[in-house]
Structure 1
Amino acid sequence: MTTESNPIESVYRFCPRCGAESRDVGSVPFRCHSCQFSLFFGPVAAVGGLVVDAEQRLLLVRRSRDPGKGLWGLPGGFVDRDENVEEALAREVIEETQLVVTSSKLLMTGPNQYNYQGVVSPVIDLFYLCEVADSTVINLAADELDQFVWVQPGPEYLESMAFESNRRAVEFWLASLKRR
């Protein structure tokens, strides 16, 4: 596995439309001088669910694969093509935990970067506060997750989050509890 980290625009050495070699590798947007094709490398959308139980404890899941193997996070993932954000949230939560989202409310959004095998893509994260039908039965997707906890997360969890954006969302949620 590579430890190298390259912004996505730096790996586009050839035009995806006509195959011409780029004169300006790393430029945003990518502009082909041969066919005039442009690619803007806009952020992809990702969702995260802050699933809270009746005791106001948050569900954290531990990742069993990279990126972030062995670290904590929130159920979530990328929004698929032809899917709205709320559908993606419900799909990701059920895929990862088998929990059925019954209601969700947008908590916060923020920019992020996703490093996958050394290529870094821009992401816009949308975090939702979620209620689920039955929080007592969780079945984790074994290919993605290996443990879960219901907690009021303190430093031991916040400092062991797989993604900085997840940590910021959890901290935002914790601060909102104090404002009540």
Structure 2
Amino acid sequence: MSIPMEQAYLHCPRCGCKQSDVGQIPFRCDHCQFAVFFGPVAAVGGLIVDSADKLLLVRRARNPGKGQWGLPGGFVDRGETAEEALEREVYEETQLRLKTRELLVTRPNQYNYQGVVTEVIDLFYVCRAVDPSHVELEPAELDDYVWVHPTDDYLDNMAFPSNRYAIELWMSELP
């Protein structure tokens, strides 16, 4: 069973009081007036393209989306820009260094982790790698990769609908 993040707040994280109005946005504690707005967290995805305009797709080795395709990327950490997060996440997952990146689109997404759903805003960048032939996957995160002109076989097996949206938008802009 999956629940929205706001349904998981049964007690105030500040004072610990049990909440009578669970699920409201914003969460507001009746006792201490502490508020949580459950705004979307930011995540980044790299549409990494090689010299033949093939796209790097990676297969997820864990949930959510285990066994499905996606784009290298992840959550933006506190204190870093989206571009810094993109470069960090791409390097952590693939060992690729980016030489160019250009914002393509932003898209809402939902991240279901162990049954709790977090609202996410994904920022997708079209990127070129310094050396696209040197992909080394982080095995705890990913178990396969392909350089492809994405077909429905891949698009129908994407871990996140926002990834598919970004890929289809990118493909629609190709000459």
For Structure 1 versus Structure 2, the TM-score category normalised by the shorter chain is: over 0.9
1:168 equivalent in structure 2:
165
2:27 maps to a residue whose letter is F
With structure 1 as the length reference, what TM-score do the two structures score? 0.96
Give 3-state SS (helix, strand or coil) of 1:10's partner. helix
Deviation string for 1:87-121 (max 9, x for gaps)? Answer: 00000000000000111000000111100000001
1:129 equivalent in structure 2:
126
CA RMSD of aligned residues (A): 0.6
2:28 equivalent in structure 1:
31
Q: Whole-Å Cα distance in 2 between the matches of residues 112 and 68 of structure 1?
A: 13
Give 3-state SS (helix, strand or coil) of 1:150's partner. strand
Kindly indicate whether residue 96 of structure 2 is the aligned counterpart of residue 99 of structure 1. yes
Q: Whole-Å Cα distance in 2 between the matches of residues 112 and 72 of structure 1?
A: 16
2:59 maps to a residue whose letter is R
Structure 1 residue 67 displacement after superposition: 0.8
1:29 maps to a residue whose letter is P
Deviation string for 1:56-93 (max 9, x for gaps)? Answer: 00000011111111110000000001111000000000
Give 3-state SS (helix, strand or coil) of 2:135's partner. coil
> Which of 129, 140, 144 is 2:137 aligned to?
140
Structure 1 residue 162 displacement after superposition: 0.7
1:150 equivalent in structure 2:
147
Kindly indicate whether residue 55 of structure 2 is the aligned counterpart of residue 54 of structure 1. no
1:75 equivalent in structure 2:
72
With structure 2 as the length reference, what TM-score do the two structures score? 0.99
Number of residue pairs the alignment of both structures matches: 175
Q: Which runs of 5+ in 1 are unaligned?
A: none
Q: Between the two proteins, what is the percent identity of the paired residues? A: 61
1:88 equivalent in structure 2:
85
